[in-house]
Amino acid sequence: MTFEKKRSNSKQEIPTASMPDIIFMLLLFFMVATTLREVDVYVKFKLPEAVAIEKIENKRLISYIWVGQSGRIQLNDNIVQIEDIQDIMYKKRVELPNVIVSLRVDKGSDMGIINDIQQALRKADARRINYSAMLKL
């Protein structure tokens, strides 16, 4: 009498055929989540810290204004003069009606320059702003 072990005939392999599909899915997620347009910042700045801060929901709506330690102003890609802000922001606002202006200002700056920028933004009617700040731990 022979004993024969019961064994299933099915293959012992994990099917890997759909692995590329899964990875494609991951890839797509990262492609969608990436905002590739990185701006070179020409000014040196250190953000202030605050507690009651909020996230900006939509990154695509943001225009950045940097103000560096030396008081230089950069708007998106270029160093600009304070007088130019109004025109540039007005054009931007026409293109993108609900633009948010993120002010990334060095914490040692004077309020004079901020007031000037704010006046320019008000004249350009780009009134949603965000004072960029880090979370104070």
Partner 1 sequence: MVTMKKKKDRDAEIPSAGMSDIVFLLLLFFLVSTTIDVDTGIGMTLPEYIPIEEQVFVPLSKERLAALNINENGDVLLDGNVIAIPQVRETLIPRIESKIELPKNKKLVVSIKTARKTNYNLYIQTLDQIKAAYAEVRTAYSQNHFNRKLYELNDEQNKELRAKIPIIISIAEPERIK
- Residues near partner 1, by CB under 8 A: 16, 19-20, 23-24, 26-27, 30-31, 33-36, 38, 48, 50-56, 59, 62, 102-103, 105-112, 114-115, 118-119, 121-123, 125, 127-135
Distances in Å between the alpha carbon of 95 and those of 11, 64, 81? 60, 16, 22
Which residue lies nearer to partner 1 by CB, 9 or 34?
Answer: 34
Cα–Cα–Cα angle for 50, 43, 48, nearest 5°?
A: 10
Kindly report the backbone phi and psi dihedral angles of residue 56, in degrees, each rounded to the nearest multiple of 5, phi listed first: -90, 120
Closer by beta carbon to partner 1, 1 or else 14? 14
What's the closest the beta carbon of residue 12 comes to partner 1, in angstroms?
Answer: 19
CB 121 within 8 A of CB 90: no
* Of 8 and 16, CB closest to partner 1: 16
Please state, in angstroms and rounded to a whole number, the distance separating the CA atoms of residues 102 and 49.
15
Supply the minimum distance, in Å, between the C-beta of residue 80 and partner 1.
Answer: 19
CB of 65 to partner 1, least distance (A): 12
Q: In this complex, which beta carbon is closest to partner 1, that of residue 9 or of residue 16? A: 16
Q: Which of 115, 88, 121 is nearest to 102 (CA)?
A: 121
Closer to partner 1 by CB, 1 or 25: give it.
Answer: 25
CB of 45 to partner 1, least distance (A): 10
Adjacency order of strands within the sheet including 62-67: 78-80, 73-75, 62-67, 100-105
